[in-house]
Structure 1
Amino acid sequence: MATRSDIDGYVIAPDPDKTGLARTVSSTNHLGETSEVSVVEERPLTIYLNRQEIVTAMTIGDYPQYLALGFLRNQGMLSPDDQVTAVDYDEEVATVVVRTEVETNHEDKLKRKTRTSGCAVGTVFGDMMAGLEGLTLPQAVVHTSWLYTLAERINRTPSLYLSAGAIHGTVLCGRDQPLVYMEDVGRHNAVDKVAGWMRAEGVNGADKILYTTGRLTSEMVIKCAIMGIPVLVSRSGFTAWGVEIARDVGLTVIGRLRGKRFECLSGAERLIWDADT
C-alpha cells in the first residue's frame, strides 16, 4: 500500500492531488459568477470476512485494506489473536476480503446492529461495548504544548479537507508529531483506517494520541478505547454519552481545541500544563 511520507515527519499524509479522490464540477455562486470547484468522490466498498459479507461502506476509496481491517477490528469481529492470512482488494468489483486462519461466523452479531449518529459507516453492533469489559488504558500523560503543536501542524497540512471540504480527518500522533493522517467522508471510516494501519503494522497505541476533526460521540470514544489509545482530541464538541463512557474507561477526552483553547471533560489528571497560553 502506497504511503506519502514527505510532509513534516508523517508516515502517511493526505494526498489531495491523487487521482480519483476528487473531481471538479461547474458552480454558480451568489453573485451569479461561474467557476469550477473541487468536490470529493464517494463510492461503495463492500467488506467481507472470509466468505461472509459484513457491510458496504461509502468511502473515498483510498486505503481500502486498512479500512476493512480497522472496521472489523473495531467492531469486535477481528480479535488481536486472529491470524490474518490475506487482505485482498478487487478494485473492479469494489470489494475487500479479509481472510483469517480460522473460519469466522458473525451472523448473530450482524442481526443485532444499531444505527448511530455517525455518517457513512455509522453502524455500531449491539455488543460492541463488550469490547470495553475489563479494559484498562495505559496511564500516559499529555502535555498541553503537544496539543497546540499538533493542532497547528495538522491544520496546515495539505489535505482534501482544505482543497474540497466535505470530509473528516483522523490523525494518529506520537507526542507532538502527527504520524498517520487519514481522511474520509465519514469520521468512522477515517478512524477505522488508522486502526487498520496499526493492526497491519503491529503498532501499539499506549503512547499515542488520536486527533479527529469530528465530534466526540460514544462510538468514537469506544473505538479509541478499543484501539488502546489513552488520549482522544478533537477540534469539535462532545456528546454526553461519549463523555460518560470516556470517564468509565479512563480515557482522556479533549474537545473544542482551537488555537490555545480547549475543554477537557475526562482524564484531566493526565494533563501537564507546560505551555504559555
Structure 2
Amino acid sequence: MQLSEEIDLTGYLIAPDPCAARLTRVVEGMDHAGRRATISVVEERPLTIFLNAQEIVTAMTIGDYPEYLALGFLRNQGMLAEGERVLGVDYDEELETVVVRTDGRTTYEEKLKKKTRTSGCAVGTVFGDMMEGLEGVTLPEVEVRTSQLYALAAKINRTPSLYLEAGAIHGTVLCQGALPLVYMEDVGRHNAVDKIAGWMLSEGVSAGDKLLYTTGRLTSEMVIKTAMMGIPVLASRSGFTAWGVEIAQAVGLTLIGRLRGRRFVCLSGEERLVRDADPESVGEEDSKHRRKSARE
C-alpha cells in the first residue's frame, strides 16, 4: 500500500473548527529571547451537569457540544441505565448548565459521596468499583486492517484542529474502517470521548464496527469508557499505562499505541489485526507532528 501525499479532509460528520471565536483567545507574552510573542491559547469554561434535579458535576471544558458532553458523561459513568429514556437535554449558555431529563428516578446522592479520582483530571471520576460497569461486557470479534490504521492516522494527523493550532488539548475520533467520522476535542481526553459517547447515544449509532482513536494516553479510564461504549478497538499516537493494558486484556479490547508514521505497538487483542500493509511503504510523520508530540 502506498499512501498519497494528498489527504482528503472531507467526509467528517463532525470535525474541529480551529477558527471558532469562542474556543481560543490570543494572548501576548515574551519568548525565550525576550521578544514579544503572540499565541492562541485554548479557552476553559465551567459546565455544570444535572441529571433531572440532581447536580452531578462541574466540568472544565472548551464549551462546544455541551449537550453531547453531558449525555456521554452520564452514559459512561453508568448513570443512564440501558433502555432508560432521555426526555430532553436542555443547555443554558448564560448559566453554563446542562440538564438531562429522563423517565427514571435519580438516586446518585450516595454514590456522589463515594468516588475515585482517576488520572483523567477535572471530571475524570469513576464511581465505586471502577470495573463494575464492565461486568458482562462482550466486545465483537472484528477485523482491524493495518492499512486502515495507517490511513486513519495520516488523515487525522493532518486534519485542521485546535490540537495543531494551539496545543494543550486532546482529540478523540470515532472511526469506521478507514474513515474518521466524528472528531471531538477538549482540555481533557475524558471530555472528548464523552462527547463522542453522547453523539452516539443521541443519534442511535452502533458501536460494534467502530474504532476509537485518541491523541491522549491509553489509561484505565480511556479503556473502561471505550469498552463500556461497546467499541472493540482503541488506538492512540501516545503511550500506555499498565492498568490500562491489564483492563484491555481482561475485557478483550484491542489496544494499539504509539501509532506514528509506520510504527505502532499492540498490547492487547492482537488477534483482530490483519497485517495487509507493508510498513516500509508508509511514510514517517513529518517534523510538525514530531514537534507537537514532544510537547504532549
TM-score (norm 2): 0.90
Question: Would you identify which runs of 4 or more consecutive aligned residues in structure 1 move more than 2 Å?
Answer: none
Question: Shift of residue 121 of structure 1?
Answer: 1.7
Distance 1:135 1:250 in 2: 9
Question: Shift of residue 34 of structure 1?
Answer: 1.0
Q: Counterpart amino acid of 2:191? A: N
SS at match of 1:166: coil
Distance 1:112 1:127 in 2: 10
Question: Shift of residue 80 of structure 1?
Answer: 2.7
- 1:193 aligns to what? 195
**Is 2:252 the partner of 1:244?**
no
Distance 1:210 1:40 in 2: 24
Moved more, 119-128 or 174-183: 119-128
**Is 2:275 the partner of 1:273?**
yes
How do 1:71-220 residues align onto structure 2 when only pairs under 5 Å count? 71-220=73-222
Distance 2:131 2:182 in 1: 26
- 1:13 aligns to what? 15
- What are the ranges of 5 or more consecutive residues in structure 1 without an aligned counterpart? 1-5
Contact 1:75 1:128 in 2 (8 A): no
Q: Counterpart amino acid of 2:168? A: A
Contact 2:9 2:155 in 1 (8 A): no
TM-score (norm 1): 0.96
SS at match of 1:215: coil
SS at match of 2:131: helix
Distance 1:105 1:86 in 2: 19
SS at match of 1:135: coil
- 1:69 aligns to what? 71
Distance 1:128 1:108 in 2: 16
Contact 1:212 1:235 in 2 (8 A): yes
For 1:238-268, what per-residue CA distance to the aligned partner results, in whole angstroms no more than 9, with x for missing partners?
A: 1111111101110000001010100000000
Q: 49, 52, 67: which is aligned to 1:50? A: 52
Q: Counterpart amino acid of 1:79? A: A
Question: Shift of residue 92 of structure 1?
Answer: 0.3
Question: Shift of residue 32 of structure 1?
Answer: 1.4
SS at match of 1:140: coil
SS at match of 1:255: strand
- 1:39 aligns to what? 41
- What are the ranges of 5 or more consecutive residues in structure 2 without an aligned counterpart? 1-7, 280-296
Q: Counterpart amino acid of 2:216? A: G
Question: Shift of residue 7 of structure 1?
Answer: 4.2
How do 1:230-241 residues align onto structure 2 when only pairs under 5 Å count? 230-241=232-243
Contact 1:246 1:252 in 2 (8 A): yes
Give the aligned length: 272
RMSD between superposed Cα atoms in Å: 1.1
